[in-house]
Amino acid sequence: MPNEILVNVTRQEIRVGLLEGGQVVEFYVERKRDASLVGNIYKGKVIKILPGMQSAFVDIGLEKAAFLYVADIMTDREEYAPFLEEEEKENSIEFVSKRGRQDLPIEEIIQEGQELLVQVSKDPLGSKGARVTSYVTLPGRYLVLMPNVEHIGISRRISDENERVRLRGILENIKSRGYGFIIRTASEGCTEEELKKDMEFLLLLWENIQRKRDRMAAPSLLYSDLDLAFRSVRDLMRQDVERLVIDAEDEYERIKDFVNAYFPKLLSKIELYGNGEPIFDAFGVELDISRALGRKVWLKSGGYIVIDQTEAMTVIDVNTGKFVGKEDLEDTILKTNFEAVKEIAYQIRLRNLGGIIIIDFIDMERLENREKVFNAFFEAMKKDRAKNTILHISELGLIQMTRKRVRESLGRTLTEACPYCEGKGFVKSPRTLCYEIFRKITKMARHGGEKIIVTAHPSVAELLSDDERSGLEEIESTYGLKVIVKEDSKLHQENYEVVQL
């Protein structure tokens, strides 16, 4: 099946799904009330320097101050290009440059009250403010502009050496002094005219940003990146993507005008969805999104994986489940692990899991089997556009990896912590609550009184009045009082009220 991009537009949000072989592998949602800030450029003001953390807080006009780390500050003596990653996320860039390392402390580079030009590199995540960098980049369809440098980078995903030489030669001939560029994967096969047009657009954009910086006071927004629908055209429309299908006519016309102006070769790939059935239902995307919010994912063999996302890391556990195999135990384990490899790589991309990820494969005794599983996982993750680092499988059957986190994961975007369990994922059992109530009644009974009224959730009240009734009778006999149990279905299971009369 062809690779395609689906765009669902409503008044409240834009949702984009990238399908490979009919299966959604990447999913993005942008709500108009809290659109992503990544790529936005601000004129900010340093409000506090933290020498102990070699970082600073920068006011860019948001509710929370942005975080600027010392390594993200460009100075005149520091090389620029090696800091960057191709296409904002991919670990597939080759630079023609050397880096002059410097170890100046942050307090010698910037001062409180200083105005800086910064770009958001990570959206606010949880309780943290946005992360910013002074290494500004402006992505186009075919190129990424790096102002004030003289470097040329080229995506390693362009594997043909002759094509690499051709593209580099074009850039060296047409680029102006004082500017650097990354040649993106989408530029493969492009003509000099197409690259020149993209370059001129980016240079004009940079000039406009500079003019705004000179006349506007900090903090202020100088440049806002394209919305999700336009970014999908710019960043996701690779050569292997056959079409982009959008279900809103007004957005369809906007995208056509945008594509016609900047990427006319893509115009024939833009289609308006005309079916009466919702676009994500018709292509089966809604079902995949629903699965991506679940904790447990079943494998075809009967095994399953469990995905637990915490503040610090994500842990993925592989289990044989119902799969018992037909041969020896090692063979059964190996087959389950192989099946899990593909599903885990898929879920990492779909859920946009970032930070530290620990994968607990089922223990394998043979070293060659561990190597097979590791190599299979390494190959499966090559399709991922996000930068990742994968360590070899350990003696305990664990794979440790990191994946660059730019935006919140799908789960954090579409869900919130359960108000009942407060994010724990568990609630106290009715029996545990009964014994807790016994302790509270006993403590209150020691102070005297004739009657105690307990109001609890029906599941707890029923247990108190039935299986655990003997415990209440013992308290009544010991302290000479009456305990009355009432139920209230409006109460959360963990909440109860004990009143002494």
Query: Do residues 231 and 213 make contact, with C-beta atoms less than 8 angstroms apart?
Result: no
Residue intervals in the chain for CATH 3.40.1260.20 = 430-500
Q: Which residues pair with 313 in a beta bridge?
A: 356
Q: Which residues pair with 371 in a beta bridge?
A: none
Residue intervals in the chain for CATH 3.30.420.60 = 3-33+230-286
pTM for this model (two decimals): 0.75
Cα 148 to Cα 179, 206, 411: the distances in Å are: 5, 11, 39
Please give the single-letter amino acid code of residue 39.
Answer: G
Q: How many CB atoms lie within 10 A of CB 166?
A: 16
Q: Tokens standing for 90? A: 């991919």
Question: Which CATH architecture group holds 41-224?
Answer: Beta Barrel (2.40)
Tens digits of per-residue pLDDT, 257-290? 988 888 888 899 999 998 888 999 999 998 888 8
Tens digits of per-residue pLDDT, 437-452? 999 999 888 888 889 9
Please give the single-letter amino acid code of residue 404.
Answer: K
What pLDDT, on a 0 to 100 scale, did the predictor assign at position 139? 92
Tens digits of per-residue pLDDT, 364-420? 888 899 999 999 999 999 888 888 999 998 888 899 999 987 778 888 888 887 877
Residue intervals in the chain for CATH 2.40.50.140 = 41-224
Superfamily of domain covering 430-500: Ribonuclease E, catalytic domain (3.40.1260.20)
Question: Which CATH architecture group holds 3-33+230-286?
Answer: 2-Layer Sandwich (3.30)
Query: Do residues 281 and 287 make contact, with C-beta atoms less than 8 angstroms apart?
Result: no
Tens digits of per-residue pLDDT, 193-242? 889 988 999 999 999 999 999 999 999 999 998 889 999 998 888 888 99
Strands 313-319 and 355-360: parallel
Q: How far apart are CA 478 and CA 475, in angstroms?
A: 5
Q: Is the confidence at residue 97, as pLDDT, over 60?
A: no
2, with CB counted inside 10 A (0-12, 13-18, 19+), is: exposed
Q: Is the confidence at residue 498, as pLDDT, over 80?
A: yes
